[in-house]
Structure 1
Amino acid sequence: MDDTPPDTVLARVPAGAHELTVRAVLQDDPTSPVILLLPAMGVPARYYRRFVGNLHAHGLSVVTFDLRGQGESAPLPARGVRFAYQDLIDDVDAVIDVIASALPGAPRFLLGHSLGGQLGMLHTASRPGRVRGVVLVASGSAWYAAFPGIYRLRTLFGPQLVAGLARVLGYWPGHRLGFGGRQPVGLVRDWARQSRTGRYVLAGSSTNYEAALRSVDVPLLTVTVSGDRLAPQSSVDHLAGKAIRARRVHKHYSRTLAGADQLGHFSWVRNGAELSRWIREWVTEVHDLSLQS
């Protein structure tokens, strides 16, 4: 039985030709810490419903929205529909504006899965002071050299192939090919560039993200997941290691701890009760330390 509390629409945010529907499951206390959950590439926000319920059961308010072109966000990526990482980072900032307006007394935290974690780190680097901390769950760098063994070759050539096909077709039809969902050319080109070089150099942006990441000083919680071949420890370390000033806590989420027969890059979402407890404890510690400083 799904006992996740129903969400409410907090706001609809115009974002150029796009509209973002911002949903929330809130605590009665408006000063409770709030988690902004950033999904993986091609994954709709509704996929995280059970995990949102886990977080809410541990006393956290949770805000969700679909990344551009996914779920409730329109239009769909197609030939001529242009957006990339920088646009998604701007969207994150617009949603934080909504949270700050609706819950001015609530400490804000970002929680990113896969691509969502990369966006959370890049947003925090380029918009300092907007959140108290960042949680990365099954989220690492796409740099091919940060992967072990044969997965290094897959991670080098896979994104380049995706970007090449997207350029020919006008978009990436991942919904038909079984990976990443339907994505615009610009986004997969940013992804492929980072996979190839290890650096975040974003189309349409003048921000030096590598330098900005080195200045990130908010606390960071990173979580690797058993059976996750898309975000192994080495990949997570490469992404988190860019924030050399951040106070990092790292945990590994095993099948035993999750109480699950199988885990992986996506299935942890449906087995997140213990993980949500970890996150709540970490958020409480970070918040208490900030009050003391």
Structure 2
Amino acid sequence: MEQRITELTAADGVRLTGHWWPAAKPSAAGTVIINPATGVHARYYHRYAAYIAARGFAVLTYDYRGIGLSRPETLKGSTFTWRQWGEQDFDAALRHALDLDCTGRVLVVGHSIGGFLPGYSPASNQIAAMLSVGGQFGYWGDYALTRRLPLFLKWHVAMPAMTLALGYFPGKRLGWLEDLPKGVAYGWGLQQDRAEQGLSGQAAEVMRERFAGVATPILSVTMTDDEFATPKAIRRAMRYYSRAPVTKILLSPKDLGLARVGHFDLFHARHEEGFWRQSLDFLREGRNPWADRVYI
């Protein structure tokens, strides 16, 4: 599919780079914004973006501030945060998509933190629906029990310690995702059981009100072998969307004909005839293609 580079400007003036795929069909089914996971370039989602664009959706992908094509010359000392990724960056993407959309249906496909942070946006109540894939905010107490200690030491001890020493997290050098701004690294590494940690009383209330303002359907999908986005982590994150009808889905790798999927694999092209095709049911019609895999 043809794509074009597009520039987004956040409300605080930060400029971001993204890509726009026009729908292949004259009468588009909707406009989809794809939100990446922490430390993952938007280009990782380009094959999925091209796939759904070929099937009738206009699609916007973009890199958050500090990542990929939206990375500044140096990250050292950068204070970019997850909250800014939602309140500023996703908000800029949403407003851009709303301006270009001709269908009245702007949807979100969000991966990991990208499946949680839309609620930070002041315009989040204009989202028509959201597919949240492994959407949670990285609280270590929700990690899979058998992996909790090594993940805690890696992401909640080593990552903040290295970030303190260097002024940013050198993830790429270590083979641990991409480099991260220190604000994001600390936000994840020092995360507690509440996403509003560190906010003043009034700011925390504004945040909760924004999330509660989203009243459109959310389909929240995770895998049984996802060590980060466990059902407990999903429940914790989705509680912030208190007015939205949230349907939570737990898939096993066997459901998709595979031995292993985990947290990052569902946007790999091997899922084109499985998860990708099934996701279209929800994006097109709001229909849950995994009705037998719902959990409370």
Q: Same fold (TM over 0.5)?
A: yes
1:186 aligns with 2:177: no
1:231 to 212, 229, 234: 229
Q: Per the alignment, do residues 17 and 241 of structure 1 end up closer, same or farther by CA in structure 2, a change over 3 Å counting?
A: closer
Select which of 125, 129, 133 maps to 1:133: 129
RMSD of Structure 2 on Structure 1 (CA): 2.7
Is the CA contact 2:113–2:135 (under 8 Å) kept in the aligned structure 1?
yes
Q: Is 2:34 the counterpart of 1:37? A: yes
Q: What's the offset of the Cα at 1:203?
A: 6.3
Three-state SS of the structure 1 residue aligned to 2:126 is coil
Q: Does 1:216 align with 2:211?
A: no
For 2:124 and 2:110, locate their aligned partners in 1 and report how far apart those are by CA, in whole Å: 17
Q: State the percentage of identical aligned residues.
A: 23
> Which aligned pairs between 1:239-278 and structure 2 lie closer than 5 A?
239-270=237-268, 271-273=270-272, 274-278=274-278
- Hey, what's the Cα distance between the residues in 2 that align with 1:266 and 1:137? 9
Shift of 1:201: 3.0
Mapped to 2, the partners of 1:148 and 1:262 lie a distance apart of 15
Q: Normalising to structure 2: TM-score of the pair?
A: 0.82
Residue 178 of structure 2 is aligned to residue 173 of structure 1: no
Q: Which residue is equivalent to 1:285?
A: 285
Q: Structure 1 229/185 Cα, relative in aligned 2: closer, same or farther at 3 Å?
A: same
Q: Contact 1:70 / 1:76 at 8 angstroms: preserved in 2?
A: no
* Alignment-derived partner of residue 47 in structure 1: 44
Change (3 A) 1:251 1:96: same
Cα distance, 1:83 vs structure 2? 1.2
Following TM superposition, by how much is the alpha carbon of 1:178 offset from its aligned partner in structure 2, in angstroms?
2.3
Counterpart Cα distance in 1 of 2:27 and 2:91: 20
Kindly indicate whether the alpha-carbon contact (under 8 Å) linking 2:144 and 2:228 is maintained by their aligned counterparts in 1. Answer: no
Quote the residue 1:19 is aligned against: 15
In 2, Cα distance between the equivalents of 1:251 and 1:277?
Answer: 16
- Separation (CA, whole Å) in 1 of partners of 2:135 and 2:70: 22
**Corresponding residue number in structure 2 for 1:82:** 79
Partner Cα distance (1:76, 1:38) in 2: 23
Q: Is the 1:39–1:112 Cα contact (8 Å) retained in structure 2? A: yes
SS at match of 2:125: coil
C-alpha spacing 1:87/1:140, structure 2 compared with 1 (3 Å): closer
Deviation at 1:153, TM superposition (A): 3.5
| Structure 1 counterpart SS, 2:51 | helix
Q: Give the drift of 1:261.
A: 4.5
Q: Secondary structure at the match of 1:281?
A: helix
Say if 2:142 and 2:228, in contact at 8 Å, map to a contact too.
no
What is the Cα deviation at residue 247 of structure 1? 0.8
> Which amino acid is 1:228 matched to?
D
How many angstroms apart in 2 are the aligned matches of 1:262 and 1:111? 22
Q: Give the deviation of 1:141 after TM superposition.
A: 3.4
Deviation string, structure 1 residues 124-170 (Cα, Å, up to 9, x no partner):
xx434221122111222322232342434445454432223212210
SS of equivalent to 2:136: coil
In the alignment, structure 1 segments of 5+ residues that lack a partner are 288-293
Q: Do 1:199 and 1:210's aligned partners in 2 also have CA atoms closer than 8 Å? A: no
1:199 Cα offset (Å): 3.0
**Counterpart contact for 1:77–1:182, Cα < 8 Å:** no
2:281 aligned partner, one-letter code: E
Measured after TM superposition, the shift of residue 41 of structure 1 is 1.2
8 Å CA contact 1:58, 1:277 repeated in 2: no
Deviation at 1:214, TM superposition (A): 4.1
Q: Are 1:22 and 1:63, in contact at CA under 8 Å, matched by a contact in 2?
A: yes
